[in-house]
Structure 1
Amino acid sequence: MPYLVECLASVEAQTIDPGRLEVIAVDDGSTDGTGECLEEFAARAPMSVTVVRQENSGGPSGPRNVGLGKAAGRYVFFLDADDRLGPEALERMVSMADKNGTDVVLGRVEGVNRTAPKSMWGKTLDRTDVYSSNIKFTLSAQKLFRRALLERHGMRFDESLWTGEDALFTLEAYLRADGVSVVADHTCYYLVGRDDGKHVTKSGSYTLRFDSARALMKLIDDMVPAGDKRDVLMVRPFLITLLPQFGPKFLTDSEDVRRTKLELAKPLMEAYWTPGVARRLKVHERLRLHLVAMQRPDLLLDVVKFVKEKKQAAAVLEKRGTRLYLLYPHFRSKTAGVPDEIYRAEAREASAFDGYRAAAANTFLRRALRKIRRSLPRKGFGAAAA
């Protein structure tokens, strides 16, 4: 409360036939009148409403699993009590799943008083997957899931995780799904920022983030063979879950906390950090994680300070403009010993700098020129006179 009032109003306003909709509301030990509000809603709502009241479980996984265990519909959608559905959201998402036979549907998310993921809403997609789109960067539970998929694989939220449990569940669903759809042209979900700022994802010990990263990396490792596809997915936990632990906050952490963070990261870097993951990151991201892998907090602090100041690193072009290095701290320092390749910008990042020429394109042109030269008559071997 009071966010629940608007949340329930958004459910009641859905355009899908109320006879096709069931609401299962799990009151996880609230003490602010939530239970009474739910009971009142159940008494007047036009759709089937089941209210479950239980002792507080301490996290979102338990209540979601209780609701999932009682669900009887073809699809399930997880709606947080402080958020709300967009108009026509359920009707549009169910229609998309029915039309394409897909097992997961993402509806466009808009933030209210908080930021929301953006990179996956460029285009409505009838059918896609986790490798060929940006859906890996939205792993919250607020998606439409085909219930048969979840039951077939016995999927439930991990109740041992206090944060990141939704990322684990959603990524597994993406990987197991027979196709994923994206509704990008209509806002289906409003992610609401609480006035008190108490979001689960922003609270709790930093050690919980390492638990989340560890679980997500293990899932990817278990389900996806080594290679490009695994590297593509590993970018997500490294970039979104692990790297923020070595951002500006690292500068104000105590020595003990810094040491603990590096110790927690060490086995993850040893097991899952690969050149394929590294080359998919920007230079400052790759450099920080490389220094984490090296267990060099002294060098890392210099880089974090530089990044925090939001200064543009100077660039140097080599190899006729086909190699561009960004001069973050300790570039070519003999005492630091960081390989040049860590500072080398990949084409997507390097293309913003004047004078850069993509190496691949140049290689193609050189090969084409060599082929043309080989097809020309050699000197001294002209055609025979008639």
Structure 2
Amino acid sequence: MTVTQPDVSVIIGAYEAMPYLVECLASVEAQTIDPERIEVIAVDDGSTDGTGEYLEEFAARAPMSVTVIRQENSGGPSGPRNVGLGKAAGRYVFFLDADDRLGAEALERMVAMADRNGTDVVLGRVVGVNRSAPKSMWGRTLERTDVFSSKIKFTLSAQKLFRRELLERHGMRFDESLWTGEDALFTMEAYLRANGVSVLADYTCYYLVGREDGKHVTKSGSYTLRFDSACALMQLIADLVPAGERRDALMVRPFLVTLLPQFGPKFLTDSEEVRRHKMELAKPLMEAYWRDGIGRRIKVQERLRLHLVAEQRPELLVDVLQFLKAKKQPTALLEKKGRRLYLAYPHFRDRAAGVPDSVYLAEPHEARPFPGYREGGAESLLRRAVRKARRMLTSRSSTPGGRAAAA
């Protein structure tokens, strides 16, 4: 009897997943792809709520191959995923969280897209159920793209289709030393090493389900874990992408999504000790990775907060956060004939604070909505240079001895 390699291995790490696991597995069973083309590898990470027993019941009746592994609790999602990945035989792997569920055609569509385009990662549209989900990358379906040409850097969760050969070739596994953000590290590495990425935006492939008990891994744990996560992702990007515009574009993700929230509204209610500790944890990251090229890609208030973190000025940061909490709007100051717009958040042109004007300067993506703003840049500089050259030519041709006179 010939054993056919499955197209996709669905890896499910499960811990205390009842009753959500019931709908999760029902969504796997309802897949339109031929059951013989998929295998399920489910790892029960020491559950005590019947999760392991339900997985075994499912394995006994499911139409596809199901392997159930039961182990002592590992403390996080990385261990079960790595165990499942080590057992996987499919051409592709898909990581499905036991709380969530798949759209019926998800695996069939994603495998077809990867095969059609030869891409190594496929992102299927995600929607949230009782929780938020990333949105910016689902504008349109992209048969082939990369992390620099799209918004995919803003979705680094593991729930994607990965070509297993890519993962094996680079020895990729989830970092079990990280207690949060381990999926961001894994997915960003896959994006950077992939021979193309596909985005399937016209069909909901994945339902990200909010648990009523609020137990989401991304919401749990000490703030120190966020700094560990940010550090790991920044280091990965620095290791794989040379310094320059492309690296700056990717660094926006850890600075904006992982680091900056530590210096948001919660900072106002933090104790002085926690504030000092957060500043200490951020200092080496800011020194190593913060660049003007990153600042230019984000909003003024975001840039200002990160600048104050870099300068270790928590007292000024508190003023900015209180301003934002009060939902105040900064005064917009137009200069240079409307081509330069400053947003006067707290401490703008305050000599004692010493924050450079450039920190408050709105880039075109933020300045365009303001009345009177005239976008400058290379194009307008070129137009001014052309006008100047024409004036010089006109002036020469109208003077005695010029070309006009010679003619």
1:246 aligns with 2:266: no
Q: Within 5 Å, give how 1:84-103 maps onto structure 2.
A: 84-103=101-120
Q: Map Cα deviations across residues 21-59 of structure 1 (whole Å, 9 max, x no partner).
A: 000000000111111111111011100000000000000
2:351 is the counterpart of 1:334: yes
- Post-superposition Cα deviations, 1:166-223, rounded to whole Å, max 9, x if no partner, equal 0000000000000000001110000001111110100110000000000000001111
1:365 to 357, 367, 383: 383
| Structure 1 vs Structure 2 CA RMSD | 1.1
**Residue 255 of structure 1: aligned partner:** 272
Structure 1 position 25 matched with structure 2 position 42? yes
The answer to whether 1:379 aligns with 2:399 is yes
Partner of 1:14: 31
Q: Equivalent residue for 2:330?
A: 313
Alpha-carbon separation, structure 2, partners of 1:122 and 1:180: 15
The aligned runs of 1:235-314 (5 Å cut-off) are 235-314=252-331
TM-score (norm 2): 0.93
Match of 2:136 among 100, 115, 119: 119
Choose which of 55, 73, 91 in structure 1 pairs with 2:72: 55
- What is the CA–CA distance in structure 2 between the aligned matches of 1:307 and 1:369, rounded to whole Å? 43
Kindly provide the amino acid, as one letter, of the partner of residue 179 in structure 1: G
For 1:96 and 1:319, locate their aligned partners in 2 and report how far apart those are by CA, in whole Å. Answer: 50
1:164 aligns with 2:195: no
Counterpart residue identity of residue 340, structure 1: D
Displacement of 1:383 in angstroms is: 3.3
Kindly provide the CA deviation profile for residues 266-294 of structure 1, in whole angstroms up to 9, marking residues without a partner as x: 00000000111111110000000000001
Paired with 1:385 and 1:239, the residues of 2 have a C-alpha distance of: 64
C-alpha deviations, 1:112-161, integer Å up to 9, x for none? 00110000000100110101110000000000000000000000000000
CA deviation vs aligned residue, 1:296-320 (integer Å, no higher than 9, x gap): 0100000011122222211000111
Check 1:34–1:335 CA distance in 2 against 1; reply closer, same or farther (3 A cut). Answer: same
Question: 1:87 Cα deviation (Å)?
Answer: 1.8
Asked whether the 8 Å contact 2:299–2:366 carries over to 1, the reply is yes
TM-score, normalization: structure 1? 0.98
* Structure 1 residues 385 and 174, CA gap change in structure 2 (3 angstroms): closer
- Which letter maps to 2:193? R
Taking the TM superposition and a 5 Å limit, the aligned residue runs for 1:34-113 are: 34-113=51-130
Query: For 1:2, which of 5, 15, 19 is the aligned residue?
Result: 19
* Alignment partners' CA distance in 2, 1:210 and 1:106: 27
Separation (CA, whole Å) in 2 of partners of 1:385 and 1:122: 62
Equivalences for residues 138-287 of structure 1 within 5 A: 138-287=155-304
Name the residue aligned to 1:137. Answer: 154
Distance in 2 of aligned mates of 1:99 and 1:371: 53
How many residue pairs get aligned? The number is 386
Q: Offset of 1:385 from its aligned partner? A: 8.1
Matched position secondary structure for 1:78: strand
Separation (CA, whole Å) in 2 of partners of 1:369 and 1:344: 27
1:374 deviates by 4.4
Q: Work out whether residues 398 and 405 of structure 2, in 8 Å CA contact, stay in contact via their aligned partners in 1.
A: no
Q: Which deviates the most, 192-201 or 361-370?
A: 361-370
Does the 8 Å contact 2:398/2:404 carry over to 1? no
What is the percentage of aligned positions where both structures have the same residue?
Answer: 78
Q: Which amino acid aligns with 2:190?
A: A
Query: What amino acid is aligned across from residue 370 of structure 2 in structure 1?
Result: F
Distance 1:385-1:153 versus aligned 2 partners, 3 A rule: closer
Name the CA distance, whole Å, in 1 between partners of 2:403 and 2:177: 80
Q: Which structure 1 segments of 5+ residues have no match?
A: none
